[in-house]
Amino acid sequence: MSEMKRAHNFNAGPAGLPLEVMLQAQAELLDYKGTGMSIIEMSHRSKEFEAMINEAEADMRELLAIPANYKVLFMQGGASLQFSTIPMNFRPAGASADYIVTGAWSKKALQEAQKLGAVHASADMKAANYNGLPASLALDPKAAYLYYCSNETIHGVEFFHTPKAPAGVELICDSSSDFMSRPVDISQYAYFYAGAQKNVGPAGVVIGILREDMLARVPANLPVMLDYKVQAENNSLYNTPPCFSIYMVGLVMKWIKKMGGLAGIEARNTAKSGLIYKTIDSSGGFFKGHAQPEARSRMNVTFRLPTEELEAQFAAEAKKQNMIGLKGHRSVGGLRASIYNAVELSDVEVLTQFMQEFQKKNG
């Protein structure tokens, strides 16, 4: 076998997974725990599968200290389907819901909710080109919930505080791109969800952490696959779940535990992002960060160069040196280094060294 060449993977999602997790999945692919079958070849009703999904959930509960009155749901449809199911399940007929719009994903969530009923933007950072967090919120005390996205993947804007909802207004968070990248107090949320494909696994599964009393809001006769109550009552096994994705999430949970849990992961992520932002800040303006310093994402570092030509050249030359995924999202341009949990500090060091050399040659 030729020597394996793994990329310095800065993809925004799907993204790199820890090498040891990939190797374990490879080793178990043909024979999961002596069954003579792969995890993707067996019934989701088998005792092996059930033990696996229960363990994945138990490890996630332990890592996030999820309180006992919360359900953990493993669902399909991507985080994008949640944009619709959240208002369907949690916004009673005639009620309005508040959305904090800090980038492309919270905007999409608001737009989807708007198709089905009333919404109100508590803030919209569009005028600032989604480069920061709102200084104040226009909150409706009668809103069914207050929704926000803790990390805007495209703009590279992250919340480091929890927005405060008025008394009686439930808080809902899309944590797709900073899920399990740091500790979080789940008890502040009525619903906290994330697609797996950035920090905790492959695409195909969405994790929803739901306070049980919210199930009382779910209206009767929702389409069965869009009904959180059905998912909760059937422990995510109403129908065939995304078996392989859940299995991979389970392996990543074990890896996070080995890395010192979420506190250990957070320290690692702070060091990685800190190094890139330091390189940006000490470049004398050659590199310009998109996000305001207080909102700088630790997951997606978005930055610009003096010209679009230089940006294209940067991405192309980086690619030649095995650094993949640095081109910014097509909607905003520029560059973006996504440095999720699995990205190593050594990958980031290769990138920052390249940034400095690129500036020397082209600055």
Ligand X SMILES: Cc1ncc(COP(=O)(O)O)c(C=O)c1O
Residues that bind ligand X (CB under 6 A): 13, 78-80, 105, 149, 153, 174, 176-177, 195
| Shortest distance (Å) from residue 105 CB to ligand X | 4
| Shortest distance (Å) from residue 182 CB to ligand X | 15
Q: Which is nearer to ligand X, 86 or 305 (CB)?
A: 86
Question: Cα(158)–Cα(181) distance, rounded to whole angstroms?
Answer: 12
Q: Is 105 marked active-site?
A: yes
Q: Which is nearer to ligand X, 242 or 250 (CB)?
A: 242
The kind and range of the H/E element at 353 are helix 345-362
Q: Is 31 marked active-site?
A: no
Task: Select the residue whose beta carbon is closest to ligand X and give its number.
Answer: 78
Inter-residue contact 246 to 237 (CB < 8 Å): no
Question: Cα(257)–Cα(267) distance, rounded to whole angstroms?
Answer: 14
Strand partners, 247: none
Inter-residue contact 17 to 342 (CB < 8 Å): yes
User: Which residue out of 107, 198, 272, 327 is catalytically annotated?
Assistant: 198
Inter-residue contact 290 to 156 (CB < 8 Å): yes
User: Which residue out of 59, 105, 178, 255 is catalytically annotated?
Assistant: 105
Count of CB atoms within 10 A of residue 75's CB? 23
Q: For 311-336, give one letter per residue: b (16+ CB within 10 A) or e.
A: beebbebbeeeebebbbbbeebebbb
Q: Is 108 marked active-site?
A: no
| Shortest distance (Å) from residue 150 CB to ligand X | 8
Q: Which is nearer to ligand X, 134 or 204 (CB)?
A: 204
Q: Which is nearer to ligand X, 195 or 241 (CB)?
A: 195
| Shortest distance (Å) from residue 151 CB to ligand X | 6
The catalytic site residues sit at: 105, 174, 198
